[in-house]
Amino acid sequence: MTTAAMALADAAPKPPPLQEPTPLSSLVFSKESRNLSCLVVTSLVSILFALSFSFSSLSLSSSVAFTKNNINTRLASLLSLHNSLPPPPSLAYLVTGSTGDHNRILRLLSAVYHPKNIYLLHLDLEANQSEREALAYAVQKINVYMEIGNVHVVGHAGNGDTKGSSSLAVVLHGAAALLKLSKHWNWFLNLDVSDYPLVTQDDLLHILAFLPREINFIQHTDHFDPREFRRLKRVMIDPGLYLSTQPDQVFYGTQQRELPDAFRIFTGSGSVILTRNFIEYCILGTDNLPRSILMYYTNTLSSHTKYFHTVVCNSLEFKNTVFNSNLHFASSADLFKNMSRSGAAFRSGFVENDPILDRIDLVLLGKLPSKIIPGGWCLEKKTKMSSSSSSISNECSVLGDANILRPGPGAKRLENFILKFISDSGGSLRARQCISDRK
């Protein structure tokens, strides 16, 4: 059983050795790129059919006689449907926060938890070591986290200044650690404490199960205003890359540099959903492109909003795998109905103790605030607890099969979100892949 406290210095026993990362020999990709547009549209059209069929199959019509043959036929139909559904993927979450974010990380973890996934929690150097220890001990108190063994805490943290490049270093470090911790996850997601899900994990895993596993969800553009071009020419220094304590703010060199001509620069949201193959390409791959781009962005402002976007769109191997959305609600509006109707999987920009989070928990996620989200993996009926309780409790004492999903209305909303995006793109996924928006 992997402990939740990973490498806490002198505060907890040393964890067992990490698994070896996927070897370079596994980095063999198909010779031809799939036509993702056809696959995505075809897959998504089948989702509603599968959902409606499964829901309608759960209850026998009153007009059908309850004979033994009818019941056996219906049970056989349900078994056939379950066997025909694609297996759910596994997600690797990096959840980051800063000083004072202990409870916010735990709440976000409870809202995105699923036994199929793996989680790495990171408090940056603004938080002291005692905060990381407290977070690790809080995770250890949750029985399901310890029994499954899929929640880990970074003991030796890094700086995470979003204005510099140290935040990108945190993401790359977290992704590399997750590659070692598990060889079985399919997508990598980075969230911070201002993010929150708008669908359940059963909803998200159900929809992703119908999509090609090579899609990278990256909201991106190469359109920059003149001010941004001037910032790109400035040489930024982030002390967080070389100081072991919380450093001062970033500073700039006196000279400027030319914009690169070896690759096109792209930017977008810092929240991404990346395939395991692409993460391995960035960290372990033999192609020098990811490292060249990384060295350039080491001295670039807010490089975490540009690095993956630039790498994927300049790579011949991956540029046709991009879905130009990170499945986040893009509007800054706080209206609950706008968020719920959007169909997005996540929304960013929540403040601490935002009252709308309680409503999201109750209405969209079907759980009490700060309680672990229920799902098909839990066989125990949800226990009624006071919504005023601020502590996190294990609501599932009987674990079932993690491959059994119980998608709800959120799955249909997310399906519509993806279909609408494709429709707005002219009906083709490729229409918005790494295109140039420069005039």
First-residue to last-residue Cα distance in the chain: 55
Digit-coded pLDDT (tens) for 165-185: 999 999 999 999 999 999 999
Q: Residue 6: its pLDDT value, please?
A: 43
Other C-beta atoms closer than 10 Å to the C-beta of 30 total: 8
- Report the distance separating Cα 87 and Cα 248, nearest Å: 47
Nearest to 269 by CA among 337, 329, 214, 351: 329
Nearest to 139 by CA among 369, 403, 372: 372
DSSP output for 5-65: EES-TTTSPPPPPPPPPPPGGG----SS---HHHHHHHHHHHHHHHHHHHHHHTS--TTS-
User: Exposed, middle or buried: residue 317 (CB in 10 Å: 0-12, 13-18, 19+)?
Assistant: middle
- Report the distance separating Cα 366 and Cα 352, nearest Å: 21
Residue 53 has pLDDT above 60, yes or no: no
CA 123 to each of CA 70, 160, 227, 263: distance values in angstroms, whole numbers, following the listed order: 56, 9, 32, 33
Q: Which residues, 6 or more positions from 370, have their beta carbon under 8 angstroms from its beta carbon? A: 106, 107, 110, 361, 389, 390, 391, 392
**pTM value?**
0.80
- Report the distance separating Cα 396 and Cα 393, nearest Å: 9
- Report the distance separating Cα 219 and Cα 432, nearest Å: 10
CA 382 to each of CA 140, 213, 375, 395: distance values in angstroms, whole numbers, following the listed order: 22, 32, 10, 6
What phi and psi, each to the nearest 5 degrees, are found at residue 123?
-105, 125
In which band, very low, low, confident or very high, does the pLDDT at 322 lie, cut at 50, 70 and 90?
A: very high
CA dihedral 402, 408, 411, 412 (to 10 degrees): 160
Digit-coded pLDDT (tens) for 350-378: 999 999 999 999 999 999 887 898 899 98
Residue 379 has pLDDT above 70, yes or no: yes
Chain centroid to Cα 2, Å, comes to 21
- Report the distance separating Cα 191 and Cα 436, nearest Å: 28
Q: Which residues, 6 or more positions from 400, have their beta carbon under 8 angstroms from its beta carbon? A: 376, 377, 378, 379
- Going from N- to C-terminal start, the domains of the chain cover 1-11+32-57+89-439
Q: Count of residues for the chain? A: 439
Q: How would you label 148-170 residue by residue, b for 16+ Cβ within 10 Å and e otherwise?
A: bebbbbbbebbbbbbebbbbbbb
Q: Which residues, 6 or more positions from 47, have their beta carbon under 8 angstroms from its beta carbon? A: 206, 207, 210, 411, 415
DSSP output for 348-359: --PPTT-THHHH
Q: How would you label 262-279 residue by residue, b for 16+ Cβ within 10 Å and e otherwise?
A: eeebbbbbbbbbbbbbbb
Digit-coded pLDDT (tens) for 215-260: 999 999 988 888 888 888 999 988 888 877 766 788 888 889 999 9
- Report the distance separating Cα 193 and Cα 96, nearest Å: 6
Q: Quick check: 344 and 360 in contact, CB under 8 A? A: no
The DSSP code for 431 is G
The DSSP code for 432 is G
In which band, very low, low, confident or very high, does the pLDDT at 19 lie, cut at 50, 70 and 90?
A: very low
Q: Residue 33: its pLDDT value, please?
A: 43
- Report the distance separating Cα 436 and Cα 64, nearest Å: 58
Q: How would you label 122-146 residue by residue, b for 16+ Cβ within 10 Å and e otherwise?
A: bbbbbbebebbbbbbebbbebebbb
Residue 177 one-letter amino acid: A
Q: What is the mean pLDDT of residues 40-62?
A: 41
- Report the distance separating Cα 427 and Cα 314, nearest Å: 24
Q: What is the mean pLDDT of residues 269-280?
A: 97
Query: Poorest-confidence range of 70-79, 246-255, 394-403?
Result: 70-79
Q: Residue 241: its pLDDT value, please?
A: 86
Q: Quick check: 294 and 308 in contact, CB under 8 A? A: no
| Token pair for 209 | 């199960």
Q: Residue 158: its pLDDT value, please?
A: 87
